[in-house]
C-alpha cells in the first residue's frame, strides 16, 4: 500500500480565458515512481479554473489509485494553495464551487498544500501544454508493469473559438467601454391553458397558472440552466447568480421551478410584466379582429394606440420595459441574471440589444421556456448570443 504520494499540479490558459489545460502527476514518495499523469483539455477557461481542475483531477486519481495515502499537493499557483489552505478568502463564485468540489474529494484524508516556484513545476506545466496543443485529454496510469491510457477529444467549439468573455466579440464593436458586462438569460414562461388554446394573455387579465405541460417546460429549462457556466452549449457563460421574474403567476411559477434547481431565490420585478391587452385578454386574435375590426387594424401598425378597457400602448410598454432593463443592468453589473418573463418583454430586451425600431416587437418568435441570451455593457454596447433556443425542450 502506498503510504504517501505527491500530486504535482498546474494549469494554464492561452488568452485567460482561452484554450486551457491542466497537468497532473501522482508520485510515490518512497520510490519516486510516477503512478499516473494526466493532460486534461478544458476548452475555453481561465488560468485559475485550469489550476483548480488540475488539483481536482489529481485527487480523483489519488482516490482511485491510492485511497489510503497521505497527500502533498505541490503547485506554483499561490492563489489555489492559499485558498485551499484557508488563508485566503474565496470571492469568485466559480472558484468557490470548485473549492467545494475539492473539499468533497478530500473528505477525511490528510492533504497538505505546498507552493513551489514555477521552474520546479515543469513536468505538470508540460502536461498542461500537451493538452492545449493536442486539444484533447489523456490520462496515463502506471500500475505494476502495465500502462493504461485513457484519451478523450474536447475540441474548442466554433462558438467558443470566437467568444470574447469580457468585451463584444465583433471587431467593429466599441472598445472604450466603462460599464461591466451583464449577461441576461431571458426565459419565457411555460405553457398555460390559454397558451395552448392560442388565446391572448397579458397583464391584468385572467392570470392563469402553468398547465401540466408548462410545469414540464419549466423543469426542462431549469435542467438546462443548471449547466450554464459548467458544461454543454453555454459552458462559457458565467454561472447565474440571480433569478428575476414578472409578477404574473405563470412567470413566477416558472421561475420558482428553475430557482429550486439552481438554489436561487426569485426576485419579482414589476416592469417585467407582459403588455396589457385590456378587453382583448382571453380572446383569440381572430375574435379580436372580428369584434374590433377597425381598432385592431389601427393598433397593429401604431405604437401609440392602446387596446380598449385599460390596454397598454406599445410606446408606454416599451418605456416600462427599458426602465426595468436598465435597473437590472445596474443592479447586477458584472453578473449573469436569469429573467423569466413573456414574449413582449423579451422582444423589448432584444430591441435594445440591436438598437432596433418598433418592428423588433413583431419579427422574433419566442417559444414557451425558450432561452434568449443577451450581453449588455450598460447602454454602451450589447451582443446577442442566442435567440429562442429550445434544444432542451
Could you state, in order of their start, the residue ranges of all structural domains in the chain?
4-156, 169-389
Catalytic residue from among 274, 342, 383, 392: 274
The pLDDT tens digits of the residues spanning 103-141 come to: 888 888 889 999 999 999 999 999 999 998 888 889 998
The whole-angstrom separation of Cα 218 and Cα 255 is 8
DSSP class of residue 295 equals H
Among 28, 23, 24, 25, CA closest to 5:
28
Residue 94, pLDDT score: 65
Is CATH 3.40.50.11720 the classification given to domain 169-389? Answer: no
Residue 159, pLDDT score: 56
**Per-residue pLDDT at 216 exceeds 90:** yes
Catalytic residue from among 8, 51, 130, 189: 189
Q: Under the phi-then-psi rule, with left for phi > 0, alpha for psi from -120 to 50, and beta for the rest, what region is 278?
A: left
Is CATH 3.30.420.10 the classification given to domain 4-156? Answer: yes
Is 274 designated active site? yes
Q: Once rounded to an integer, what is the mean pLDDT over residues 24-34? A: 91
Identical fold for domains 4-156 and 169-389, yes or no, is: no
What secondary structure does DSSP assign to 242-288, as a single string?
A: EEEE-SSHHHHHHHHHHHHHHT--EEE-GGGSPPP-GGGTTS-HHHH
Is 287 designated active site? no
Q: Residue 296: helix, strand or coil by DSSP?
A: helix
Q: Which three cell numbers stand for residue 126?
A: 508540460
As a whole number of Å, the end-to-end CA separation of the chain is 50
Residue 147, pLDDT score: 56
DSSP class of residue 14 equals S
**Per-residue pLDDT at 11 exceeds 90:** yes
Angle subtended at Cα 105 by Cα 87 and Cα 107, rounded to the nearest 5 degrees: 75
**Per-residue pLDDT at 154 exceeds 70:** no
Q: Which three cell numbers stand for residue 217?
A: 417546460
Among 253, 280, 286, CA closest to 268:
253
Number of Cβ within 10 Å of residue 293's Cβ equals 10
Amino acid at each position: 500500500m502506498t503510504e504517501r504520494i505527491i500530486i504535482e499540479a498546474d494549469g494554464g490558459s492561452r488568452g485567460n480565458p482561452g484554450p486551457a489545460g491542466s497537468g497532473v502527476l501522482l508520485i510515490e514518495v518512497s520510490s519516486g515512481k510516477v503512478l499516473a499523469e494526466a493532460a486534461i483539455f478544458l476548452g475555453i477557461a481561465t488560468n485559475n479554473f485550469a489550476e483548480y481542475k488540475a488539483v481536482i483531477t489529481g485527487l480523483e486519481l489519488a482516490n482511485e489509485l491510492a485511497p489510503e495515502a497521505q497527500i502533498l499537493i505541490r503547485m506554483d499557483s499561490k492563489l489555489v494553495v492559499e485558498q485551499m489552505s484557508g488563508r485566503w478568502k474565496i470571492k469568485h463564485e466559480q472558484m468557490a464551487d470548485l473549492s467545494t468540489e475539492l473539499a468533497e474529494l478530500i473528505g477525511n484524508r490528510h492533504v497538505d498544500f505546498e507552493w513551489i516556484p514555477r521552474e520546479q513545476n515543469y513536468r505538470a506545466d508540460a502536461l498542461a501544454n500537451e493538452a492545449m496543443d493536442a486539444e484533447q485529454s489523456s490520462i496515463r496510469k502506471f500500475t505494476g508493469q502495465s500502462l493504461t491510457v485513457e484519451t478523450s477529444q474536447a475540441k474548442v467549439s466554433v462558438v467558443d473559438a470566437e467568444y470574447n468573455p469580457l468585451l463584444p466579440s465583433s471587431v467593429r464593436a466599441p472598445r472604450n467601454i466603462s460599464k461591466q458586462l451583464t449577461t441576461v438569460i431571458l426565459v419565457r414562461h411555460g405553457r398555460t391553458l390559454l397558451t395552448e388554446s392560442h388565446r391572448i394573455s397579458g397583464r391584468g387579465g385572467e392570470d392563469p397558472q402553468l398547465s401540466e405541460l408548462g410545469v414540464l417546460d419549466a423543469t426542462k429549462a431549469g435542467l438546462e440552466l443548471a449547466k450554464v457556466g459548467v458544461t454543454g452549449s453555454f459552458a462559457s457563460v458565467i454561472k447565474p447568480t440571480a433569478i428575476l421574474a414578472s409578477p404574473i403567476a405563470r412567470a413566477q411559477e416558472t421561475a420558482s421551478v428553475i430557482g429550486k434547481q439552481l438554489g436561487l431565490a426569485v426576485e419579482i420585478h414589476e416592469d417585467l410584466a407582459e403588455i396589457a391587452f385590456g378587453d382583448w385578454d382571453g380572446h383569440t386574435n381572430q375574435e379580436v379582429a372580428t369584434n374590433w375590426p377597425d381598432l385592431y387594424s389601427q393598433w397593429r401598425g401604431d405604437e401609440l394606440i392602446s387596446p380598449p378597457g385599460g390596454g397598454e400602448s406599445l410606446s408606454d410598454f416599451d418605456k416600462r420595459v427599458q426602465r426595468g432593463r436598465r435597473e437590472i443592468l445596474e443592479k447586477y453589473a458584472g453578473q449573469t441574471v436569469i429573467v423569466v418573463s413573456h414574449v413582449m418583454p423579451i422582444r423589448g430586451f432584444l430591441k435594445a440589444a440591436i438598437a432596433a425600431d418598433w418592428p423588433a416587437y413583431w419579427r422574433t418568435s419566442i417559444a414557451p421556456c425558450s432561452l434568449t441570451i443577451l450581453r449588455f455593457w450598460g447602454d454602451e454596447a450589447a451582443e446577442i448570443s442566442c435567440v429562442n433556443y429550445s434544444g432542451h425542450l
